[in-house]
Amino acid sequence: CGYDQIPGTSYHPLDGILGLGRGKSSIVSQLQSQGLVRNVVGHCLSGRGGGFLFFGDGLYDSSHVTWTSMSQEFTKYYSPGSAELHFGGKATGIKNLIVIFDSGSSYTYLNSQAYQALTLLLKKELSGRSLKEAPEDQTLPLCWKGRKPFRSVHDAKKYFKTSLALAFANSGRRKTQFELHPEAYLIISNKGNVCLGILNGTQVGLQNLNVIGDISMQDRMVVYDNEKQVIGWSPANCDQLPRFKSAYYM
């Protein structure tokens, strides 16, 4: 579903998984109509590759999942509606970001305003540290090199200590936050540099849509409950299938 997408001349950031949308003709909706499962679909993408897809509500404990409401305005997508970008635990003032969850996108995308604000904040945070921008590395638009090549994000994340989050506004007074730790927005290039896996969506035709892609959903169980009209997520070991009560998985 897009796990190994790379930029190219043909760009399809919203392909997703065929037949798993919110409509009545979706596979999971048809399974529900036959009384086989609840109208719930979810996935767990491992940061080491692999993972699993499931139908029904038998693979998770609802009380351990962070939930937010699905938007009733953007019904073509799995969308929690609008969000505000937080940096270092504080609101940035970048609001009204229309966010969608899309497992068909390898990377995460912010609109131009949010992307520019985020990159400025990151560059300010990294100022004075032993990382330098690496414009010669064309893996992604923004990469940094250290004193020696990085082997993994784990080696590089000590430089990225400030937390990122998207705070969703449609969950009542208390906003639900989708936190982005370094593993959820950084990759290591073939040159051993660390690159920002959050891209400018406006430049690739997404206009004002903001996409949470695979990179930001790794090692989390993400659940789309079409009956309760909520989206949820929780940390998970996506290398191992949990015990299930009533679910179809693949």
pLDDT at residue number 149: 97
The pLDDT tens digits of the residues spanning 19-63 come to: 566 556 566 666 656 665 788 999 999 998 889 989 888 888 999
CATH fold of 27-249: Cathepsin D, subunit A; domain 1 (2.40.70)
The pLDDT tens digits of the residues spanning 206-218 come to: 999 999 999 999 9
The pLDDT tens digits of the residues spanning 54-100 come to: 988 888 899 999 999 999 999 889 999 999 999 999 999 999 999 99
* C-alpha–C-alpha distance, residues 111 and 96, integer Å: 11
Collapsed DSSP state (helix, strand, coil) of residue 55: strand
Position of tokens 């940061």?
A: 47
* Domain assignments of the chain as residue spans, ordered by start: 27-249
Amino acid at 177: Q
pLDDT at residue number 250: 54
Q: Which of 15-24, 116-125, 152-161, 185-194 has the lowest mean pLDDT?
A: 15-24
Q: Which of 73, 89, 90, 91 is nearest to 81 (CA)?
A: 73
Q: Provide CB contacts within 8 A for 83, sequence distance 6+.
A: 95, 97, 99, 166, 167, 168, 169, 178, 210
Q: Which of 113, 87, 238, 106 is nearest to 177 (CA)?
A: 87
Mean pLDDT of 127-153: 95
Mean pLDDT of 188-192: 97
